[in-house]
Structure 1
Amino acid sequence: MSWLEGELTTLALCWRIERRDGVTIGLTAHDRDIVWDGLVHHAAPGMLPSAITRGAGLDPASMDVTGALTSAAIGEADLLAGRWDGARVAIFACDWTDPGSQVALGEGTIGAVETRSGMLTAELRGAMAALERPVVEATSPECRADLGDKRCRVAMAGRRRFAVVTAIADTLLTLDAAEPAANCYGQGRLRWIGGANSGLEGAILSSDGATVTLRRPPPVDAPGRVLLIEGCDRTLATCAGRFGNALNFRGEPYLPGIDLLTRYPGG
């Protein structure tokens, strides 16, 4: 890497950020835009990473990036709405006179985000951070599978429906069509595909007729088109009665729980 060995280096740090909805942006700490791989990395001189540590160990690798919030790149409204949650980030150093000469510094996903006085601090979690998660499941009376996944095996083709949100009152949304069965969207998902909330997704707490109640209010109080995905309360009774899928139930409803320790003779 001769470009790093000269008396005068032309080093620039770059970030490639890919959101879960497909939107991709590029940023660089250089004072001019850098074009690489068909993507313009816009100049953001205030974006600075913390120390980058690379090793062969199994410790979770993480780092922080701090910079100013700008509406042209990463806005505070989009951060609070969750559009950047889980976005993939690749960081590299390059020769700004020849962006093809570069060194990969790390990649990961955006974790905790903090905004204060117009400044953004984002945690980048590396691949080793996945080792922090449990590797085996614990027993539970409720099903541990997600409705429609490869363990549940319930066909979801007929359990996703489009609708239009006509009114919003905090977490209560009114739709232009009623649900096909009582509380069929409860514990499901709502995905915005139109309007100011387009691309965002929220958890449904319950549904009743032509209304659904979300766990959290939508970031923007604006009606729009949505995709409704049915949910499941993960009980054996629902699995058997509503879905006819007790054979694939992934729980232990009859296993004694912690309440067994509190029982006493005659209780």
Structure 2
Amino acid sequence: MNADALFAHLATGAGHVCQAWAITRRDGVTLGFTDHDRPLRFEGITFMADSGLSARALATVAGLAADNSEAVGLLQADVVTEADIVAGRYDGAAVRNWLVRWDDVAQRQLRFRGRIGEIVRQAGTFRVDLRGLTDLLNQPSGRTYLRSCDAVLGDARCGVRTDDPLVMTTAPVLAQDAGQSIEVAAGQHPDRWFEQGVMTVLTGQGAGLVVAIKHDLLQGGRRRLTLWDALPSPLAIGDTLRLVAGCDRRAETCRVKFANLANFRGFPTMPGEDWLMSVPRSTGTNDGGSLSS
């Protein structure tokens, strides 16, 4: 990548330049687009010229404010499909933008790196909000002082292995109704084991989808799962699902269900609001001791 040569070319006043965009989706698929009239190829990516994708001017500012831009395109069956957008495959996708000399792609400059924010679909088109890397600095961080655990089941702070058969299972779809309920084999886990857990679709049209489980009930040798949200892509009988146990973040659940109390990241003995509102009373024993005793 030779940015100096690109700048020298632009200084001639007759620049042969265009824009190129690369989008890497959550499932690892990378798509390339360009506003040039012919495809370009560099960094192992083919940038398609007939994608119908265009972008507004990139706004950059000094300091820690987020770079921002917007891309607009057409929904096409062989490129960006409505089904993939609904399935969430573009949510948070990584985005890169280059200014490229189209007759010598080695002369290019990376102008933007970020991720996709809000996506709006309307009348066969889509519009995406592009957020720069500094946008991550606007996200809240740090620990929360609560009775419940603030770790996520399976992360480094929690320590529970979500690939442990005692915690998770894989099972094919046996039935699905028109709503948000799915039936799989009962398996070895007890009733409500996967309640508040996570379901990942491993095979079929909806492969890669991740949804939260609302209810998990054993009924007649089968496990009936009710989801918080309807799946954006339909499942077929036989599609394989991965189910990970649910955790309500209570200390008792951490101890009994996962035998992981040593890694509990909450504060179960913190005083409650009743203690904070305690005041001396004339009928009490006012000896200077704790009001909670």
Equivalent residue letter for 2:214? L
Q: Does residue 1:244 correspond to 2:250, yes or no?
A: no
Partner of residue 11, structure 1:
17
SS in 2 for 1:67: strand
**Is 1:60 matched with 2:66?**
yes
Q: Counterpart in 1 of 2:173? A: 165
What SS does the corresponding residue of 1:199 show, helix, strand or coil? coil
How do residues 50-129 of structure 1 correspond to structure 2 at under 5 angstroms?
50-129=56-135
Change (3 A) 1:59 1:259: farther
Structure 2 unaligned blocks of 5 or more: 1-6, 282-293
- For 1:36, the equivalent position in structure 2 comes to 42
| Offset, 1:156 | 2.7
TM-score with structure 2 length normalisation? 0.83
Check whether the contact 1:31–1:45 (CA below 8 A) recurs between aligned residues. Answer: no
Structure 1 window deviating more from structure 2 (45-54 vs 188-197): it is 45-54
Deviations 1:1-59 (A, max 9, x none): 22222332211111111112111110111121111122211114642222213344111
8 Å contact kept, 1:16–1:25: yes
State whether residues 144 and 150 of structure 2, in contact with CA within 8 Å, keep that contact through their aligned partners in structure 1.
no
Aligned residue number for residue 26 of structure 2: 20
* Aligned partners of 1:168 and 1:221 also within 8 Å: no
1:253 maps to: 268
The one of 207, 210, 215 aligned to 1:206: 215
Which of 135, 139, 142 is equivalent to 1:133? 139
Q: Which runs of at least 4 in structure 1 moved beyond 6 Å after TM superposition?
A: 259-265
The normalised TM-score by structure 1 is: 0.91
Q: How does 1:212-231 map to 2 (within 5 A)?
A: 212-223=225-236, 224-231=239-246
Q: What 5-or-longer segments of structure 1 have no aligned partner?
A: none
Kindly report the root-mean-square deviation, in angstroms, between the aligned alpha carbons of the 2 structures.
2.1
Compute the displacement of 1:256 (Å): 3.8
Moved more, 247-256 or 112-121: 247-256
Distance 1:139 1:195 in 2: 42
Question: 2:189 aligned with 1:180, yes or no?
Answer: yes
CA distance in 2: counterparts of 1:150 and 1:119, whole angstroms: 40
- How far the C-alpha of 1:135 sits from its partner, in A, is 2.9
Offset of residue 179 of structure 1: 5.0
Moved more, 190-199 or 50-59: 50-59
SS in 1 for 2:107: strand
Query: Cα deviations across residues 154-193 of structure 1 (Å, max 9, x unaligned)?
Result: 2333223211012112111101343512222122211111
C-alpha distance in structure 2 between counterparts of 1:235 and 1:253, whole Å: 8
Cα drift, residue 120 of structure 1 = 1.2
Question: Which has the larger displacement, 23-32 or 147-156?
Answer: 147-156
Q: How many residues align?
A: 265
* AA in 1 matched with 2:261: A
Output one character per residue of 1:51-79: Cα deviation in whole Å (capped at 9) or x when no partner. 21334411122221122222221111211
Q: From the CA coordinates, give the structure whose radius of gyration is larger.
A: 2
The answer to whether the 8 Å contact 1:160/1:230 transfers is yes
8 A Cα contact 1:112 1:123, kept in partner: yes
Are 2:51 and 2:79, in contact at CA under 8 Å, matched by a contact in 1?
no
